[in-house]
Chain A
Amino acid sequence: MPRGHHDVGGLPGAGSIDQTDHQLSDWEVLADAVNQALGARGIKRTDEMRRAREEMDSAAYREMTYYERWIASIEAILIEKNILTKEEIDRKLTEFESKWGEP
């Protein structure tokens, strides 16, 4: 089994540390809160979320931002536990997108 894409300690090619910090967007605050709320209700464990991120597509793992990875793993675990389906998330999102509209 190859080294996991999350197992990055000591990998070569790392550059300097970008020390700028960004204020969290609304969606990031929400992702954080939904994650914690699911944990507090005993719906999922942090270990399951980590495992879901390890199972992601490796290219996506490197390209996505931190909270995007959290959302992807929240979705994966909720689907795995038969709490939500991909189809109903897609449907709900389509409803929202028609409300949010385009300029």
Chain B
Amino acid sequence: MSEGHDAGQTPQDHGHEHPKHELSHYAKRIYAIRDLLIEKGVITDKDIQCQIEYQEARSPANGANLVARAWVDPAFKARLIDDPKAACAEMGIDATSINEFVVLENTEKVRHMVVCTLCSCYPRPILGRPPDWYKSFNYRQRAVNDPRGVMREFGLVPPDDVEVRIHDSTADIRYLVLPLRPKGTEGLNETALAKLVTRDSMIGVMDPLSAVPPRS
């Protein structure tokens, strides 16, 4: 086995985090499983490297770029809603590994929110890995019966006459919320707009940042 890799390569025996002997039962076992699988030729070290790089290349910036383009270009927005995978391809975002992809458009009258109560499915090829809170039992339990309570924790309080639509993604469909463009952003270009689009606004628990971030 190789030794002394740099950060960003296959995690080997760095030991600069927890010393390995302090890891939990299953945390330790993945090292044994990995070595055995490679020894037996089931997967290769390169397979693992490729997956790590693939995952590192995916982040909420992809989604933010889609949203910002949709905000400035109504024709692109229509294409994004009609055929999200094709719209991703237009922008050089590789969404091919998603089986089906649906974009949920927020309006003044409708707010969408997404959960996977059964296991934490998430549009990883677009947004990267889900945040810890999305995978938590508290979110998985409460998102479907108390979506407004969850939104309130993230600072979003839609009026009672706004329709809140909570999607439980139980099958192969992956959902991305297209948040509402904040007021007062008419002068901003696409790059500046993308900075307002947070990961959490594309899950639907909060609105995007406003045009002028509050001074702390």
Instruction: Give chain A's interface residues, CB within 8 Å of chain B.
Output: 6-22, 24-34, 36-38, 40-41, 43, 50, 53, 62, 64, 66-68, 71-72, 74-75, 78, 83-84, 88-89, 92-93, 96-97, 100-103
A sample of 14 more A-B contacts (CB under 8 A), given A84-B33, A92-B35, is A8-B141, A9-B144, A14-B141, A14-B142, A27-B31, A30-B11, A33-B55, A37-B48, A38-B42, A43-B42, A53-B119, A68-B25, A75-B33, A89-B36
Is B21 in the interface zone, CB < 8 Å from A? Answer: yes
Contacts of B28 in A (CB 8 A): 27, 93, 96-97
Q: Which residue from chain A places its CB closest to the CB of B46 in the assembled complex?
A: A37
Q: Pick the residue among A13, A68, A74 that contacts B27 (CB under 8 A).
A: A68
A31 and B30 within 8 A (CB)? yes
Q: Which residue from chain B places its CB closest to the CB of A13 in the assembled complex?
A: B141
Bound CA–CA A25/B43 (angstroms): 22
Contacts of B25 in A (CB 8 A): 68
Count contacts between A and B, CB distance < 8 Å.
Answer: 173
- Contact A97/B47 with A9-B168, A14-B138 known, Cβ cut-off 8 Å: no
- Contact A64/B26 with A9-B145, A19-B133, A27-B31 known, Cβ cut-off 8 Å: yes
Count how many chain B residues have C-beta atoms less than 8 Å from C-beta atoms of the other chain: 59
A17 and B138 within 8 A (CB)? yes
Q: How far is the CB of B99 from chain A (nearest CB, A)?
A: 10
Bound CA–CA A18/B142 (angstroms): 13
Q: How far is the CB of A34 from chain B (nearest CB, A)?
A: 6
Taken residue by residue from 12 to 55, chain B's Cβ proximity to chain A (1 for < 8 Å, 0 otherwise) reads as 00110111110111111111111111001011000111111011
Choose among A17, A36, A68 the residue with the greatest number of B CB atoms under 10 Å from its CB: A17
Closest 6 CB pairs of A and B: A9-B117, A26-B11, A14-B141, A92-B32, A33-B51, A37-B47
